[in-house]
Amino acid sequence: MTTIRQLSIFLENKSGRLQEVLEALGNEKINITALTIADTSEYGILRLIVSDPENGYKLLKNRGFSVNLTDVLSLSVSHEAGSLAKVLKKFSEEKLSVEYMYAFSLGEKAVIVLRTDNRPKAFEIIERNNFTLISEDEIKNL
C-alpha cells in the first residue's frame, strides 16, 4: 500500500506569503501538481503535492517556513458523475472519517488526495473495493 508525501505549510494571513512560497519552489524548478489552502481567520495551511517533496521541504524549512511532510493517500477515480460519492460511501459505511480532502480532474481521470483518521483501515477498504491508489511517481507524471 502506498502513500504520497504532501507539503503542509503554516501561513499567516498576510499578503505576499503564498507568493513567496511559490517563488521559492519555482526557482528550484519544483513543480506543483496540486495545491489547496485551508483557512481560518488568522492563519491558513497551504497543502501542496510537488514534483520533489524532499527538496521542497528542505528548501522551505531553510527559508524559515513552518513546513511539514505529511503522508496522505491519493486515489484515482473515473471522471464521471457519482464516482467520488461511491468511494466515500464505502468509507462512511465503515465509519472511516476523512480529515481533509481535495481533488482535481485530468481528462478521463480524477485524482483525490485525502487524509483519514485511520490509515490501515483506509487501506483495507481500498483493497477490498479495488479502488486505485496512486503512487508518488505516478502523481508526478500526471
Q: Residue 25 Cβ, how far from another protein at the closest point, in Å?
A: 17
Q: The C-alpha cell of 38 is what? A: 485551508
Q: Residue 46 Cβ, how far from another protein at the closest point, in Å?
A: 11
**Mind giving me the DSSP string for 59-90?**
HHHHTT-EEEEEEEEEEEEESSTTHHHHHHHH
Q: Which is it for strands 98-106 and 109-116: parallel, antiparallel or unpaired?
A: antiparallel
Q: Residue 13 Cβ, how far from another protein at the closest point, in Å?
A: 10
**Closest CB to another protein among 47 and 77?**
47
Q: Are 98 and 88 in contact (CB under 8 A)?
A: yes
**Closest CB to another protein among 76 and 116?**
116
What is the distance of C-alpha 10 from the center of its chain?
15
Q: Residue 26 Cβ, how far from another protein at the closest point, in Å?
A: 20
**Closest CB to another protein among 99 and 137?**
99
Binding site for another protein (CB under 8 A): 8, 10-12, 17, 38, 40, 42-43, 45, 47, 61, 64-68, 70, 99-100, 115
**Closest CB to another protein among 77 and 112?**
112
Could you give the CA distance from residue 106 to residue 112 in angstroms, rounded to a whole number? 11
